[in-house]
Structure 1
């Protein structure tokens, strides 16, 4: 067996295609022993890809763009969360967006991730950062859920199935950002282009398993829900509800591909939070589709 490390953000449903590849034996069928490192700090996923501690990553896509702008070699080679799986969940007693004035809103990071989405959603409703509310960087959705329950924040984006769990526990939903931003590449399969070129055979074997895992997710709900329960500890009813939402809305891409429209939406929305020089490149410039194309041709 050849060994690879895949870095991922936290232990949440976003990682299900990789978990399927592991538990359904799809990586092993390609002669790969893949270690999945679950990391709470979203910046660290990108750091590990850069310094070689991980060979591939399910990373926050904005980090790949920022890395490229700084002269780095990271590329988006596949999709992961291609459409927003979130609800905007608030503590009981908050009835609408106007009630968020003066409140603390949890985000994964001020540098990337959910912060720019929050700024866009609230600006359209007359609330402007930082004068009207506070953004609290508290990590990915599991950390945000803990802080929401403890009162450390008043609201934040929660991904399925945590949003369903929150509603059942008395929290309220202020809306689904996907209704306003239908395409958004939140996380993606990323790699250092230099490492990939030097390890062509490993890359193609991983990509074949990656493609099979996405198809398996769509065609085998029983396996998908069982693995989601095993890895994340959620109840069966929530695993099934997440599967229904992710397949209905194609949140994971069935073909494994990144969304050019989703990357472009990310670029435009992320400019709300940082004063960056005008990006000279298009969304397609950050995506390398050759790896999945060659892997697909060899299936």
Structure 2
């Protein structure tokens, strides 16, 4: 068995394809002894790729874009959250997006991730950061949920199933963006990939099978979600229904060129970024690896 580490952000539902592949033995069948390293700091995930402490990552895709702009070696080789899965959850008493004026909104990071989406959504309502509201960098979804419940923030993006749990606890949803947007992706350092071709292809064969299994086996998806995240089975089922209905995870495991382009355009509109290192979304995606793995199934 070949040991391999996949770094992921927190214990949230975004990790389901990898969790399912691990529990269903799909990586082991390819001789891969996979360790999934759950990390709360989103910047730390891709830092581990660069340092070699992880060989693959479910990372925030904007970090790959920023890495490329600075001459780095990270690349998108597969999909993860290809379409927005969020509800913008707020405390009771806030009735709409304009009601967030003067409020504290939790985001994963000011540098990348959910902050881009918040800025874009609120700019469409005439609210601009930092004059009209405060962004609180508090980490990923689970940390935002804790702060929302404690009153530390007034609102924050939540994905299924935490959006459903929040609504059942009396919080409100201000909007539910579902457009194509490459929020997270399967990322790799190309230097490691080129030197470990056989290992990467074996991992990707398991990765491809895991995505197909997610769509065809709700019972396994429920059991894995409950075991890994501790949610109730009814919420696991609701998350599965939402993710399969809206195709939030790509069934073919591919990254979305449309989703990457949407990410680029959003971040370019709201951030003072240097010139893009590449001009097309497709230039950030290396599809060779999945294509070769699929051909060898």
Structure 1 and Structure 2 fold alike (TM over 0.5): yes
Q: Which residue, out of 248, 261, 268, partners 2:258?
A: 261
| Cα offsets for 1:223-270 (capped at 9, x unmatched) | 001100000000011000000000000000000000000000000101
- Answering whether residue 49 of structure 2 is matched by residue 36 of structure 1, we say no
Give distance in 1, aligned partners of 2:138 and 2:132.
Answer: 19
Q: 1:239 aligns with which of 230, 236, 240?
A: 236
Whether the 8 Å CA contact 1:116–1:272 is kept in 2: the answer is: no
Contact 1:76-1:188 within 8 A present in 2 as well: yes
- Structural mapping, 1:1-299, within 5 Å: 1-178=1-178, 182-279=179-276, 280-299=278-297
Q: What is the distance in 2 between the residues matched to 1:29 and 1:281? A: 39
> Separation in 1 of the partners of 2:218 and 2:135?
37
CA shift, 1:191, in A, is 0.3
Give the CA deviation at 1:97: 1.4
Deviation track 1:113-153 (CA, whole Å, cap 9, x = no partner) reads 01011011111111111111000000000000000000000
The count of corresponding residues between Structure 1 and Structure 2 is 296
Q: Say which SS state the counterpart of residue 35 (structure 2) adopts.
A: strand
Q: Any conservation in 1 of the 2:69–2:274 contact (CA below 8 Å)? A: no
Q: Is the 8 A contact 1:115 1:273 kept in 2?
A: no
Gap regions ≥5 residues in structure 2: none
Residue 281 of structure 1: how far off its partner (Å): 2.0
CA RMSD of aligned residues (A): 0.7
Q: Return the offset for 1:274.
A: 2.1
How far is the alpha carbon of 1:277 from its aligned partner?
A: 2.4
Distance in 2 between the 1:75 and 1:128 partners? 32
**Residue segments in structure 1 that go unaligned for 5+ positions in a row:** none
CA distance in 2, matches of 1:272, 1:166: 31
In the alignment, the residues of structure 2 paired with residue 53 and residue 70 of structure 1 have an alpha-carbon distance, to the nearest angstrom, of 21
What does the per-residue CA deviation read over 1:268-298, in whole Å, with 9 as the maximum and x for residues that have no partner?
1012342112324211011000100000000
Contact map agreement 1:50 1:192 (CA 8 A) in 2: yes
TM-score (norm 1): 0.98
